[in-house]
C-alpha cells in the first residue's frame, strides 16, 4: 500500500456589509479530480486549457461557481490541450477554472456525487463521505492516498458553489522531523529524521500496518524491548546516516523490517561458499571463485549488489532468478543487483558487465534509455523528462557535458521540487523506485 497524506483546513467568508471574516459554518467541501484553467477566451467547443488535469471523456464540469455552464466532456486532445464538450456553446474567459466533477450523476445540473475517494484514517481502512460538511469553526479534514493532485469545490449552506481550491498536490511523500522525546509521534508519516539525541523507547500514534523509516541525523539509541522489537534483541545505537525501518503490528508494537548503517554501507566481502550470508548488508565483493546458488540471511525487500573481484558464476534457478533464466558468469568488475521477495528468493533487478561499466552516452532525447547502466554522459541539450528502461532499485548518475534541463515532476522528482538546469561538469544521481519514478539521491552543481 502507498502512503497517505492528511489535509486539514478551514473556510472563512466575508460578513455582509463589513470588512470582516467569519467561519463558513454549514458549508460543504467536494474533493474532486484535478480540473483545468482556461487558456483562451471563447464561446464554442473545444476549450483550450493550460493543462488537462484529470479530464477524460464523459466527465462533467462547471465553469467556476456557475452551474448554468454545466457540461459533459465529449473528448480531450492531449496534443492541443483542449477539452471538447457536447451541446450548446458556452462562453469562457482566459483564467476561468473548469471544475472537474468526474462521473457526476446530474443531467441538467450537478449532483456533486462523484468526488475522489477520501479516508477517515491514516491507513486507508475507512472511507469517509465526500462531500464533507465543515464543523462549527468552518474546519474540515480528510486523508487521501498519495500520488494525486486534486481540487476542492466549496458550497454554501444552500448548496450553491461558493469558491474552490485548485491543484492541491499530494504527489510527494514528506520527510518529517521527530520530536526530541523518548516517545515521538509518527502520526500520518512514513519517513522521519531524528530530532535530537534522546533515546527512543516507543513511537506514539502508530496504526496497525504503518511502516516507518527513521533516518539518523544524530547519535541516538533505539531501545529494544517492551514497545520496539529489534533484530538480535539488542538496542540499535544509530550514527548519522543510519536508517531503521519498522512496522506497527496489531499489538501496537513496532517490529524491525530492516536497517542500514554507515559501517555496513561500505563494501563487505562475501564468504567463499555457495550460500554466503548477506545479513544487514547492501553491497558485497565476491570472496572467491565458488559458484553461488543462494544468499543466506536475506530479508523481504532487501536489495543487494554483488561486485565481482573474481571469475565466478551466479546460478539461475531454485533460489536465484536471473534475466533470461541463465547463469551469470561474472568477470572482474561486473555487478549484479538482486532483491529478496516474500518467498525468500532472489530476483534480478539489473547488472553491469565490463563493456557496460564504461561511461555510456545518453541519447539526445526527452526520455533516453538507461538500460543496464549506472553512469551516463549527456548526449545533447534536449530537456529530459524521464529515463526509459529503468528497474526498481537502479541507481544512475548523469554527468553533464552540455547545458540542459532535467525536469521535476511526473516522472522525475528532484530536491526542492524544481527543475535542475545542468551545465558542463554538473552531476545528478537518481534512484528508480517501485512506482517506476526517479527520485534524487544527490547532485554536484558547479554553479556555472
Shared domain for 399 and 432, answered yes or no, is yes
Q: What is the pLDDT of residue 20?
A: 67
* Tens of pLDDT, residues 408-422: 989 999 988 899 999
User: Exposure of 234 by Cβ count < 10 A (0-12 exposed, 13-18 middle, 19+ buried)?
Assistant: exposed
Range 85-95 average pLDDT: 96
Residues 228 and 250: beta-carbon distance below 8 Å: no
Closest CA to 422 of 383, 390, 385, 367: 383
Cα separation of 114 and 128, whole Å? 13
Split at pLDDT 50, 70, 90, the class of 263 is very low
Q: How far is CA 24 from the centre of its chain?
A: 34
The verdict on 225 and 142 lying in the same domain is no
What CA–CA distance (Å, rounded) separates 197 from 312?
45
- C-beta of residue 413 within 8 angstroms of C-beta of residue 369: no
Question: Which one is predicted more confidently, 328 or 121?
Answer: 328
For the chain, give the mean pLDDT.
Answer: 87
Distance CA 309, CA 286 (A): 6
Sheet of strand 335-340, all strands in order from the earlier edge strand to the far edge: 268-269, 283-285, 303-307, 335-340, 346-352, 320-321
Q: For residue 266, is pLDDT > 80? A: no
Instruction: Give residue for cell 514497545.
Output: 227
345 and 385 both lie in a single domain: no
Query: Coil, strand, or helix at residue 61?
Result: strand
Domain shared by 52 and 151, yes or no: yes
Phi, psi of 376 (to 5 degrees): -135, 140
The model's pTM is 0.44
**Is 403 found in the same domain as 309?**
no
Residue 416 dihedral angles phi and psi, to the nearest 5°: 80, -5
Is residue 15 domain-shared with residue 91, that is, in the same domain? yes
How many helices and strands in the chain, by DSSP H and E?
0, 38
Given a cut of 80, whether residue 10 has pLDDT beyond it is yes
Same domain, 53 and 166: yes
Boundary residue ending a domain (260, 277, 293)? 260
What are 316's strand-pairing partners?
A: none
pLDDT at 15 over 80: no
Distance of alpha carbon 415 from alpha carbon 408, whole angstroms? 9
Supply the DSSP symbol for 232: G
The grid coordinates of residue 285 equal 565483493
**pLDDT band at residue 334 using 50, 70 and 90 as cut-offs:** confident
Pick the last residue of a domain from 320, 352, 384. Answer: 352
- pLDDT tens, residue by residue, 177-227: 899 999 999 887 778 889 899 999 999 988 887 888 898 888 899 999 999
335/406 same-domain check? no
Asked if residue 211 and residue 138 are part of one domain, the reply reads no
Quickly state the pLDDT bin for 264 (edges 50, 70, 90).
Answer: very low
**In the prediction, which pLDDT does 360 show?**
81
Contacts 24+ apart (CB under 8 A), 437-444: 437/411, 437/412, 437/413, 438/386, 438/387, 438/390, 438/396, 438/411, 438/412, 438/413, 439/413, 440/412, 440/413, 440/414, 440/415, 441/395, 443/415
For position 245, which CATH number holds?
A: 2.60.120
> Among the listed ranges 46-50, 67-71, 409-413, which one has the minimum average pLDDT value?
409-413
Q: Which three cell numbers stand for residue 308?
A: 565481482
Q: What is the pLDDT of residues 94-118, one digit of tens each?
A: 999 999 999 999 999 999 999 999 9
Distance CA 28, CA 11 (A): 10
φ/ψ of 237, rounded to 5, equals: -90, 100
Would you say 11 and 29 are in contact if contact means Cβ atoms under 8 Å apart? Answer: yes
Cβ(222)–Cβ(236) under 8 Å? yes
The number of beta carbons lying within 10 Å of the beta carbon of residue 281 is 21
Q: How many domains does the chain divide into?
A: 4
Q: pLDDT tens-digit profile of 367-421?
A: 999 887 788 899 999 999 999 988 877 888 898 889 999 999 899 999 888 999 9
Burial environment of residue 409 by CB neighbours within 10 A (0 to 12, 13 to 18, 19 or more)? middle
SS3 300: coil
Q: What is the pLDDT of residue 191?
A: 80
Domain shared by 13 and 122, yes or no: yes
Model confidence pLDDT, tens digit, residues 272-330: 999 999 887 788 889 999 999 999 988 887 888 898 888 899 999 899 999 878 888 88
3-state secondary structure 173-218: CCEEECCCCCCCECCCCCEEECCCCCCECCCECCCCCCEEEEECCC
Q: Which residue's entry shows cell 467561519?
A: 23
Cα–Cα distance for residue pair 262/341, rounded to 1 Å: 24
Q: Give the pLDDT score at 356.
A: 42
CA distance 2 to 122: 11
**Within this chain, do residues 166 and 179 fall inside the same structural domain, yes or no?**
no
Nearest-angstrom CA–CA distance, 91 and 68: 11
Contact 240, 216 (CB under 8 A): yes
Domain ranges, residue 395: 360-444
pLDDT at 359 over 50: yes
* Placement of cell 484535478 in the chain: 34
In this structure, are 440 and 346 located in the same domain?
A: no
**Whole-number Å distance between alpha carbons of 265 and 282:** 6
Which residue, of 143, 170, 197, is where some domain finishes?
170
Cell of 177: 522531523
Amino acid at each position: 500500500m502507498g502512503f497517505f497524506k492528511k489535509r486539514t483546513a478551514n473556510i472563512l467568508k466575508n460578513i455582509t456589509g463589513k470588512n470582516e471574516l467569519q467561519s463558513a459554518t454549514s458549508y460543504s467541501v467536494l474533493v474532486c479530480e484535478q480540473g483545468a484553467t482556461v487558456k483562451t477566451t471563447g464561446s464554442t467547443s473545444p476549450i483550450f486549457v493550460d493543462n488537462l488535469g484529470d479530464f477524460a471523456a464523459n466527465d462533467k464540469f462547471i465553469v467556476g461557481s456557475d452551474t448554468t455552464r454545466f457540461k459533459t466532456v465529449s473528448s480531450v486532445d492531449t496534443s492541443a490541450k483542449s477539452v471538447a464538450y457536447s451541446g450548446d456553446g458556452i462562453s469562457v474567459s482566459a483564467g476561468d477554472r473548469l471544475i472537474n466533477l468526474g462521473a457526476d450523476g446530474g443531467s441538467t445540473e450537478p449532483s456533486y456525487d462523484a468526488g475522489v475517494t477520501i479516508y477517515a484514517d491514516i491507513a486507508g481502512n475507512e472511507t469517509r463521505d465526500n462531500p464533507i460538511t465543515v464543523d462549527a469553526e468552518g474546519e474540515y479534514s480528510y486523508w487521501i492516498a498519495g500520488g494525486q493532485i486534486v481540487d476542492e469545490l466549496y458550497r454554501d449552506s444552500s448548496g450553491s458553489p461558493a469558491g474552490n481550491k485548485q491543484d492541491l498536490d499530494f504527489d510527494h511523500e514528506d520527510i518529517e522531523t521527530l520530536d526530541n522525546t523518548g516517545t515521538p509521534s509518527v502520526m500520518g508519516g512514513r519517513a522521519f529524521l531524528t530530532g535530537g539525541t534522546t533515546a527512543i523507547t516507543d513511537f506514539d500514534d502508530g496504526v496497525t500496518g504503518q511502516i516507518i523509516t527513521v533516518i539518523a541525523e544524530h547519535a541516538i539509541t533505539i531501545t529494544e524491548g517492551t514497545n520496539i522489537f529489534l533484530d538480535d534483541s539488542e538496542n540499535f545505537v544509530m550514527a548519522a546516516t543510519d536508517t531503521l525501518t519498522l512496522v506497527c503490528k496489531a499489538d501496537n508494537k513496532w517490529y524491525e523490517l530492516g536497517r542500514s548503517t554507515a559501517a555496513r554501507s561500505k563494501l563487505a566481502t562475501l564468504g567463499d561458499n555457495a550460500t554466503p550470508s548477506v545479513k544487514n548488508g547492501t553491497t558485497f565483493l565476491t570472496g572467491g571463485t565458488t559458484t553461488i546458488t543462494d544468499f543466506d540471511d536475506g530479508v523481504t525487500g532487501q536489495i543487494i549488489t554483488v561486485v565481482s573481484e573474481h571469475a565466478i558464476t551466479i546460478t539461475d534457478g531454485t533460489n536465484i532468478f536471473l534475466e533470461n533464466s541463465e547463469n551469470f558468469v561474472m568477470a572482474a568488475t561486473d555487478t549484479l543487483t538482486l532483491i529478496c521477495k516474500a518467498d525468500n528468493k532472489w530476483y534480478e533487478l539489473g547488472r553491469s558487465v565490463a563493456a557496460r561499466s564504461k561511461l555510456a552516452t545518453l541519447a539526445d532525447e526527452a526520455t533516453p534509455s538507461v538500460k543496464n547502466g549506472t553512469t551516463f554522459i549527456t548526449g545533447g541539450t534536449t530537456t529530459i523528462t524521464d529515463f526509459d528502461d529503468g528497474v526498481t532499485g537502479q541507481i544512475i548518475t548523469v554527468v553533464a557535458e552540455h547545458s540542459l534541463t532535467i525536469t521535476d515532476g511526473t516522472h522525475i522528482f528532484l530536491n526542492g521540487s524544481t527543475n535542475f538546469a545542468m551545465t558542463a561538469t554538473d552531476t545528478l544521481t537518481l534512484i528508480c523506485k517501485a512506482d517506476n519514478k526517479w527520485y534524487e539521491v544527490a547532485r554536484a552543481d558547479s554553479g556555472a
